[in-house]
Structure 1
């Protein structure tokens, strides 16, 4: 991937990889937990070959210069504002928006809040938030999501996660090289706390995500350990625009393990739009 550049949003400085054809329509790719922008490294060459420009930030808390203290600084409304601030800083009217895991949650919210800035939406793994909520009383999703409640505790998750993270990621299907890279980064206490603060800020967030009104593709792995079928299938209800559901015989880590299929879905959505 390209060398890092920076963009500033107030007092925060974000790391960004901006690469591909200069005249290509921009695709903004948002990573999840506990990843960073390098999670897209197998996907972006396909997008460049299709004539698309890629923008891949390390998001709030993952960029060392954008790591404010306190869980309140990681509310969803601030994460969405970071996305729109990036577009403003680069002078971009619209992008094709792509997100995985937590990045998918931000992408759903950003597309709902600013459809005029979103040419299309492609989300990996993460169902629409309303579909996730609707699935809770009718599936095993509460058990799958139990770790999110555990992450609300102060300090203890950091002590438990840091020494075990690499093995846990490998057991859940992430390739060894990726698991090692993410785990090494999360051994920095400030980095891990900032990443966990995304979860801790959820009860404080003031953003509700209505149905999106932009052309959308949702890609889900049938063996996802965290996100089940019920929410995946309910997601269509919350897209009031052309919609495509892509089910893969895969787990959770789609950018790293299913790059060809992920890139194909993104390219198909951009071309259809």
Structure 2
């Protein structure tokens, strides 16, 4: 992303891109693992042309975003992602915004909408309700889904940590192919995002994230109250559209078919045939349309 800006929160110096009129209704676009803000390169111009102010941050552990203190745990747990998003809105003096994302970014957006709904005018969350059920993670999934989650179990081991450290691009490229089997991305497209993985905190943040969600790593003590609130599986009251790629290679579309129960406000699920996990980059018009279709 060009012309990056930086702003400080209590924990991070967040690097972000901004596009669109400064006075427009704000939209925060949040990337996932292992991706980067470049996923929104085609989405943001559509929204900006419609008068929206687009804010596209690098998450903790990605790109030029940096921790302010060496003492802060390099946590990628879900509470950290939600708190970072809330802190970003505070730092930018944005009282309320549409929040939209996928994978880690969709989780952050869901957390903000669930715990601080007064900060959210609308939610776009790919694959539906993304708040983790850590207590329930001990229950095995179907054999097919366990196979899809191989990389998470790999990261639970020191061999996996070493593998990610040694070849973060190789692992990310493989996951892109597995998760978006019909998306013929080229090397230049991959490289534009892969530079974000050179952040010195990328590996510790990723490893902690995938261990914490299964109860295999402690969380940041400062985030315990947020994690306790998330453990109650809070419902989401804000207007929500949930796109789901019909060819998502890590979370199949049928997985979100029953997610309406987690939403007590207006909710619409949209399955996009042939689209994989990186929905905003594979189907930018559909992703932008979901944002523009939210009420208000």
Range of TM-score over shorter length: 0.7 to 0.9
| More displaced stretch, 69-78 vs 81-90 | 69-78
CA distance in 1, matches of 2:234, 2:176: 35
Give the alignment of 1:90-129 within 5 angstroms. Answer: 90-125=92-127, 127-129=129-131
Aligned in 2, Cα 1:243/1:223: closer, same or farther, shift over 3 Å? same
> What is residue 28 of structure 1 aligned with on the other side?
28
Q: Is the 8 A contact 1:152 1:200 kept in 2?
A: yes
- Is it true that 1:263 corresponds to 2:274 in the alignment? no
Report the alpha carbon displacement of residue 23 of structure 1 after superposing the two structures with TM.
1.5
Unaligned ranges ≥5, structure 2 = 220-226
Choose from 145, 170, 193 the match for 2:149. Answer: 145
- Number of paired residues? 271
TM value normalised by structure 2:
0.81
Choose from 226, 231, 236 the match for 1:212. Answer: 236
> What is residue 56 of structure 2 aligned with on the other side?
56
Aligned in 2, Cα 1:136/1:27: closer, same or farther, shift over 3 Å? farther
Aligned in 2, Cα 1:90/1:186: closer, same or farther, shift over 3 Å? closer
TM value normalised by structure 1:
0.87
Residue by residue over 1:73-112, the C-alpha shift from the partner in whole angstroms, topping out at 9 and shown as x without a partner, is 3322222111111111111110001011111111111110
Equivalent residue of 1:74, what SS? coil
| More displaced stretch, 205-214 vs 76-85 | 205-214
Unaligned ranges ≥5, structure 1 = none
Report the alpha carbon displacement of residue 262 of structure 1 after superposing the two structures with TM.
0.9
Q: What is the root-mean-square deviation of aligned Cα atoms in Å?
A: 2.7
CA distance in 2, matches of 1:158, 1:235: 32
Equivalent residue of 2:146, what SS? helix
Q: Is the 8 A contact 1:102 1:126 kept in 2?
A: no
